């Protein structure tokens, strides 16, 4: 049986993936059945003339560590976006939760520092068979959890069992067997191909079997990571300290991390500028120009793996017509939305799969703003006098984007009635037989760096799209091992997707983290979820 072997360079500092509910409605759609639905920060309309200036000031992260850091350099004061609800990695979904999870826990695999390549973590190497139904991992020897429990294949089997009923259990959904007979070899079998299992493992963290046995994972964290649990002052902060048993080399450069709950945006910015805070995550775009001009502040940001889009219910009388969907696509000015509504904090999306994710291409079909073409398509679809549709969003944070689309579509003869619903109400309507809305503003986090929502099936399930050709292509994408053949299927699927547009990709969100100029080695995570502090140090 042929296999695909993956060894990679042993870059232990990469940090990477999961799902976010983001800057918009926390704990929104993934928990409510829209896995990966995310949100943006509160948006305010700002002058478009600031966009180019801001882009020129944004960095790609702090400078990399140079030379040897001879001693621990202090405790990083991080403004967490909210009080974590879950620190158990099997249930964590928010960036404030993963700030804890990614610091204390490791996975079998992780991303390198540019988040472009999977590299070893607790697994030294890994292989999969030709149809990706069997995966084998050679585990790193002589690793212990922070409570002294040995890390081995049995510990990972216990971890998988713990994950199954959690938020990330679907990543293991077709798992049929875990062979832990060899302490340093883990074999995992699936009933169906799982070509992205390696990428998915960046979300599944090895947990101490003793912690699981004690049912204490909701109260404290015990992993193999660079930092270990300190204390949780509820409503105030979580304290982590440099791990005394970390397997990696070199050891963390920080003495520790204080994850301080600061929910008010003004207080976060003021704290950074005054020096009481060292780092704030997901800065409100409104605050970026002033922070970018402050010599004592550094910024790291750019396109993330979050894709905001407009989903069409393809099984409804009007939006089942592809000409209508294409007319709507030509009636939305995505460039203007990114420039004027987001202040440049976004990248117009040519495809559902974000830039940097495995298989992304720029399809041959694109939709520039063209109201005349939109009206012509409506006429060809049988609506020469235009039409009226209803559009819904699941958070007020989408309001400005929705209102911009309403104004733009009116120029094409498309009258849109827009409202903001409770997230649960909108999710229920999305799956209703006779939905209230024709159009839905949603966000997907393609958080494993691959064709994540092709794998989950949401790209076709949410719009209730049944077209045979695209459905078959997506199936081939999901059952073919990485390589030229799979890349070809993914390219074909994206091309056909943009022709049929079950949903219209609007933009990939650009998020930005800000930090003191004395902080080095930190970079904004492309997955938008898992900040990595193991490389961070003060100078």
Say how far apart CA 520 and CA 539 lie, in whole Å.
7
**pLDDT tens, position by position, 238-282:** 999 999 899 987 789 999 999 999 999 999 999 999 999 999 999
pLDDT at 173: 81
Q: What is the 3-state secondary structure (H, E, C) of 14-61?
A: CCCCCCCCCCCCCCCCCCCCCCCECCCCCCCCCCHHHHHHHHHHCEEC
pLDDT at 19: 27
**pLDDT tens, position by position, 406-429:** 999 999 999 999 999 999 999 999
pLDDT at 116: 86
- Mean pLDDT over 72-95 rounds to 93
pLDDT at 62: 52
For residue 21, pLDDT over 60 is answered with no
Chain mean pLDDT for the chain: 88
Phi, psi of 263 (to 5 degrees): -90, -20
User: Rounded to whole angstroms, what are the CA distances from 285 to 179, 280, 297, 361, 364?
Assistant: 48, 13, 15, 28, 32
- Mean pLDDT over 134-151 rounds to 98
Rank 42-46, 298-302, 462-466 by mean pLDDT and report only the highest: 462-466
Q: Who's near 494: CB < 8 A, 6+ residues apart? A: 351, 352, 353, 359, 360, 361, 363
- Which residue do the tokens 């390549």 mark? 117
For residue 375, pLDDT over 50 is answered with yes
Give the gyration radius of the chain's Cα atoms. 23
pLDDT at 5: 53
| Dihedral sign from CA coordinates of 230, 255, 238, 535 | negative
Q: Is 93 helix (H, G, I), strand (E, B) or coil?
A: coil
pLDDT at 115: 85
Name the pTM for this structure.
0.87
For residue 25, pLDDT over 70 is answered with no
pLDDT at 4: 54
- Mean pLDDT over 353-364 rounds to 97
For residue 312, pLDDT over 90 is answered with yes
In this predicted model, which residue has the larger pLDDT, 327 or 30?
327
Q: Who's near 468: CB < 8 A, 6+ residues apart? A: none
**Least reliable range by pLDDT among 65-74, 97-106, 388-397, 450-459:** 65-74
For the chain, domains (ranges, CATH) are 303-510 (3.10.105.10)
- Mean pLDDT over 12-28 rounds to 30
């Amino acid at each position: 049986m042929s296999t695909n072997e993956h060894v990679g360079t042993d870059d232990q500092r990469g940090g990477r993936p999961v799902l976010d509910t983001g800057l918009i409605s926390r704990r929104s759609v993934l928990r409510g059945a829209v896995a990966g639905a995310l949100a943006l920060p509160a948006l305010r309309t700002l002058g478009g003339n600031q966009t180019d200036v801001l882009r020129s000031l944004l960095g790609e992260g702090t400078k990399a560590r140079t030379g040897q850091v001879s001693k621990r350099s202090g405790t990083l004061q991080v403004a967490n976006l909210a009080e974590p609800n879950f620190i158990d990695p099997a249930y964590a979904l928010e960036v404030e939760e993963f700030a804890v999870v990614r610091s204390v826990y490791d996975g079998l695999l992780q991303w390198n520092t540019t988040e472009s390549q999977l590299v070893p973590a607790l697994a030294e190497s890994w292989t999969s068979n030709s149809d990706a139904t069997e995966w084998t991992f050679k585990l790193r020897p002589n690793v212990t959890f922070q409570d002294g429990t040995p890390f081995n294949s049995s510990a990972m089997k216990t971890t998988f069992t713990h994950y199954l009923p959690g938020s990330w259990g679907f990543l293991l959904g077709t798992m049929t067997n875990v062979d832990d007979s060899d302490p340093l070899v883990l074999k995992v079998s699936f009933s169906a191909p799982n070509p992205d299992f390696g990428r998915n493992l960046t979300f599944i963290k090895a947990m101490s079997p003793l912690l699981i046995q004690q049912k204490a994972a909701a109260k404290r964290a015990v992993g193999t990571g660079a930092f270990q649990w300190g204390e949780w002052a509820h409503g105030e902060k979580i304290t982590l300290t440099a791990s005394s048993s970390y397997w990696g080399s070199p050891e963390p450069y920080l003495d520790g991390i204080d994850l301080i709950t600061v929910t008010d945006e003004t207080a976060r910015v003021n704290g950074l500028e005054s020096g009481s805070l060292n780092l704030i995550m997901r800065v409100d775009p409104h605050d970026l120009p002033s922070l970018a001009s402050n010599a004592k502040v550094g910024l790291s940001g750019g396109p993330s793996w979050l894709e905001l889009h407009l989903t069409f219910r393809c099984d409804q009388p009007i939006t089942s017509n592809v000409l209508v969907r294409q007319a709507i696509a030509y009636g939305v000015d995505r460039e203007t939305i990114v420039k004027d509504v987001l202040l440049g904090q976004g990248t117009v999306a040519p495809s559902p799969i974000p830039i940097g994710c495995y298989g992304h291409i720029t399809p041959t079909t694109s939709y520039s703003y063209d109201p005349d073409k939109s009206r012509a398509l409506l006429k060809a679809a049988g609506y020469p006098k235009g039409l009226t549709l209803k559009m819904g969003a699941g958070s007020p944070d989408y309001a400005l984007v929705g209102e911009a689309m309403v104004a733009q579509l009116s120029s094409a003869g498309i009258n849109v009635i827009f409202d903001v619903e409770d997230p649960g109400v909108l999710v229920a309507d999305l799956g209703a037989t006779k939905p209230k809305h024709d159009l839905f503003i949603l966000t997907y986090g393609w958080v494993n760096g691959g064709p994540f929502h092709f794998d989950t099936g949401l790209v076709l399930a949410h719009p209730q799209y049944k077209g045979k050709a695209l459905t078959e292509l997506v199936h081939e994408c999901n059952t073919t091992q990485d390589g030229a053949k799979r890349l070809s299927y993914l390219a074909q699927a994206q091309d056909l997707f943009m022709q049929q547009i079950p949903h219209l990709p609007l933009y990939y969100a650009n998020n930005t983290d800000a930090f003191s100029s004395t902080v080095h080695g930190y970079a904004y995570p492309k997955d938008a979820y898992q900040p990595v502090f193991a490389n961070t140090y003060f100078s």
